Structure 1
Amino acid sequence: MIQYEAVAGPFGHSANSSTRIMYTVILTLLPACLFGVLQFGLHGLYVLLSSCIAAVMAEWFCLLLMKKRLLACMDGSAILTGLLLAMSLPPAFPLTLTVFGSVFAVVLGKQIYGGLGQNLFNPAMLARVMLLICFPVEMTQWIDPTPIDFSHNQVTVPATWLHFDGMSSATALSPENHTALPWMDLALGNQSGSLGETCALLILCGGLYLLYRRIIHWAIPVTFFIGLGVPALLAHLFNPEHYLPFWTQWTSGGAILGAFYIATDLVTSPTSIRGQILYGLGCGFLVWLIRTFGSYPEGVAFAVLLMNAASPVIDYYLRPNIFGSNNASAREK
């Protein structure tokens, strides 16, 4: 028998688990989801529910085929994927395409790589890009907000709130919008867009809570805004009539949702702090490039997927030092 003395490994333990983290992230997104439904009507709720249910069912079916534990479909990862996809879709998006996109996200964006923790690309953004390329008309049909009126001591429900018909409108990033909207309207959700692009303030509060709970690190969100804001500021100073100011770039589209909830995906982002800084800068700068010079007004999904592909390379060259290695010892000295 081999005699050895057990010692404690260099591991930090906490009460967090992947399931707890997933449901915490979901809870922080619910206020923004509820606000989106109140702004755009019941069809937004149908989009949210159909996307989440389809994601869970697709994961359950994949687990059944692979003969894995079926209850793993309720670990929160499938629900979060469906929720993020739904928040990136127009409020009046067809439900059949919503289900198709959600199934695509889980099957071809996650399970085909081996399941949770092994996917190369963010599943929700992969499905959004697929839908945008295959169904560009449906993916760019925006409607004006028609919120419920709670003033005058009564509740007034607009006629358009109970169904998906509405006045077509352009978003703050659309080419036909040559003037920047007031930042307060952008922050409070008084704009057209997807369910996750309206109330930037609620999404920001959720992201700050994730930072407070240390579920995400500050490196990616901060550098994301720097990478997006610095070129926007310089371009606006050079030609204010042609380029949007940095506050519009920050508070419109999916910038805040992307900075706190999408780019910070623990699976598809780098592991080291230096890698995350480079990753966040790259995401922000690519968003500005695509918005400014690309064919699509929104570039968060494309930027995140491009940096997802670069994440293994970033990890290879900027990986953290192994505990107890010579490099780590030299750095401590």
Structure 2
Amino acid sequence: MENKLIISPSPHIHSGDSVSKNMYGVLIALLPALLVSLYYFGLGALIVTLVSVLSCVLFEFLIQKFLIKQPQTIYDGSAVLTGLLLAFNLPSNLPIWIILIGALAAIGIGKMSFGGLGNNIFNPALVGRVFLLISFPAQMTTWPVPGTIPMDYVDGQTGATILSLLNEGATELPSYTDMLLGNMGGSLGEVSAIALLLGFAFLLVRKIISWHIPVSIILTTFVFTGIMHLVNPAEYVNPIIHILSGGLLLGAIFMATDYVTSPMSKSGMLVFGIGIGLLTSVIRLFGAYPEGMSFAILIMNALTPLINMYFKPKHFGGK
């Protein structure tokens, strides 16, 4: 009998997706924001990005080879993506030795200590970012002025972000045009709203992510900060400023949508996004720290198993 009947368990439909395909798809979506950061922050952006990416790949290789004895996964793009996202959450004048510590925290603590990709509870890049923010608050909150590109990138002219200006009670802020294009202080990947939205459109078209988490975060933040602005416009700024400034778009589009650390069902994603939006708004408006996106995502990462328990996805073939 030449024609053999092959029997295999369901499901029998394959989407063609893979870890590496999706990881490299996200990397492509981040290219516009990377180009904007290189334009405005120059040498510093290039150094921070290269050191972060290369060190994340190196640390993952060393940990898998010598500590946990796992097959190498550095080729699937996840370590590169962690390094790029970590760089996007750092100022462009951060010293190399601090970047290395952040990369080790992101890969060693945030990812490999849980068993590697697919097992981590928290977003690894945000683990690295928050670790550095707590350990080196002065260096992590010193922001280079866009367009100033000295030969020694660490000693460039520094300024403030929009959120820190608001926290200090300032009234003169960058224009909406500057916020859209990226001509303002901040971390590498958070400054240009247009670049991030272009990446968002690419991810949606390629069906790498769904709209549920980013849109629920943005709408929740807009509604909450909008209500506060209507109640007291003298103290609370227009909600559009909250959407276009800080790391809200970067976090909503590229960090909160991480497959491993976000809920599986569509309804769970909406709950997850609403929680992040509320926490971010509360921290920004009432907390001592001007930015709250990183902490909000990590808190909701911890609640993801609970959300999955109550908001289960439909089983294959279910209605």
Q: TM-score range by the shorter chain?
A: over 0.9
Write the distance in 2 (CA, Å) between the matches of 1:84 and 1:295: 25
Shift of residue 110, structure 1, vs aligned partner: 0.4
Q: Cα gap change, 1:264/1:318 in structure 2, threshold over 3 Å: closer, same or farther?
A: same
Mean Cα deviation higher: 304-313 or 4-13: 4-13
| Alignment-derived partner of residue 71 in structure 2 | 69
Partner of residue 271 from structure 1, selected from 264, 274, 286:
264
Write the distance in 1 (CA, Å) between the matches of 2:52 and 2:218: 29
Matched-pair contact (CA < 8 Å) for 2:57–2:74: yes
Shift of residue 55, structure 1, vs aligned partner: 0.3
How many corresponding residue pairs?
311
Mean Cα deviation higher: 281-290 or 164-173: 164-173
Q: Cα gap change, 1:177/1:212 in structure 2, threshold over 3 Å: closer, same or farther?
A: farther
| Alignment-derived partner of residue 36 in structure 1 | 37
Shift of residue 68, structure 1, vs aligned partner: 2.5
Q: Cα gap change, 1:95/1:235 in structure 2, threshold over 3 Å: closer, same or farther?
A: same
Shift of residue 161, structure 1, vs aligned partner: 6.0
Shift of residue 176, structure 1, vs aligned partner: 2.4
Mean Cα deviation higher: 106-115 or 35-44: 35-44
Write the distance in 2 (CA, Å) between the matches of 1:214 and 1:5: 31
Shift of residue 290, structure 1, vs aligned partner: 0.8
| Alignment-derived partner of residue 154 in structure 2 | 164
Shift of residue 166, structure 1, vs aligned partner: 2.4
| Alignment-derived partner of residue 281 in structure 2 | 288
Match of 1:173, SS state, is helix
Write the distance in 2 (CA, Å) between the matches of 1:57 and 1:264: 25
**Cα shift readout 1:154-187 (whole Å, capped 9, x = no counterpart):** xxxx6x2663322221111011253343222111
Q: Cα gap change, 1:188/1:161 in structure 2, threshold over 3 Å: closer, same or farther?
A: farther
1:189 equivalent in alignment to 2:182:
yes
Matched-pair contact (CA < 8 Å) for 1:41–1:161: no
Matched-pair contact (CA < 8 Å) for 2:106–2:125: yes
**Cα shift readout 1:264-304 (whole Å, capped 9, x = no counterpart):** 00000000001000000111111111111112111111000
Write the distance in 2 (CA, Å) between the matches of 1:19 and 1:7: 25
Matched-pair contact (CA < 8 Å) for 1:41–1:164: no
Write the distance in 2 (CA, Å) between the matches of 1:123 and 1:5: 41
Match of 1:164, SS state, is helix
Q: Cα gap change, 1:12/1:292 in structure 2, threshold over 3 Å: closer, same or farther?
A: farther
Matched-pair contact (CA < 8 Å) for 2:264–2:308: yes
**Cα shift readout 1:198-218 (whole Å, capped 9, x = no counterpart):** 111111100111011110011
Q: One-letter code of the match for 2:155?
A: D
Share of identical aligned residues, percent? 43
Shift of residue 44, structure 1, vs aligned partner: 1.5
Write the distance in 1 (CA, Å) between the matches of 2:266 and 2:312: 9
**Cα shift readout 1:23-74 (whole Å, capped 9, x = no counterpart):** 111121122112112211202111000000110001001110233323x212
In the alignment, structure 2 segments of 5+ residues that lack a partner are none
Write the distance in 2 (CA, Å) between the matches of 1:166 and 1:252: 22
Matched-pair contact (CA < 8 Å) for 2:95–2:154: no
Scaled by the length of structure 1, the TM-score of the pair is 0.89
Mean Cα deviation higher: 172-181 or 121-130: 172-181
| Alignment-derived partner of residue 256 in structure 1 | 249
Write the distance in 2 (CA, Å) between the matches of 1:88 and 1:64: 28
Within-5 A mapping of 1:116-155: 116-146=117-147
Q: One-letter code of the match for 1:170?
A: A
Write the distance in 1 (CA, Å) between the matches of 2:17 and 2:58: 26
In the alignment, structure 1 segments of 5+ residues that lack a partner are 148-157
Q: One-letter code of the match for 1:38?
A: Y
Matched-pair contact (CA < 8 Å) for 1:272–1:315: yes
Partner of residue 245 from structure 1, selected from 222, 238, 241:
238
Matched-pair contact (CA < 8 Å) for 1:40–1:161: no
Give the CA RMSD over aligned residues: 1.7
Q: Cα gap change, 1:243/1:35 in structure 2, threshold over 3 Å: closer, same or farther?
A: same
Write the distance in 2 (CA, Å) between the matches of 1:163 and 1:236: 38
Matched-pair contact (CA < 8 Å) for 1:178–1:241: no
Q: Cα gap change, 1:239/1:31 in structure 2, threshold over 3 Å: closer, same or farther?
A: same
Match of 2:163, SS state, is coil
Match of 1:302, SS state, is helix
Matched-pair contact (CA < 8 Å) for 1:171–1:193: yes
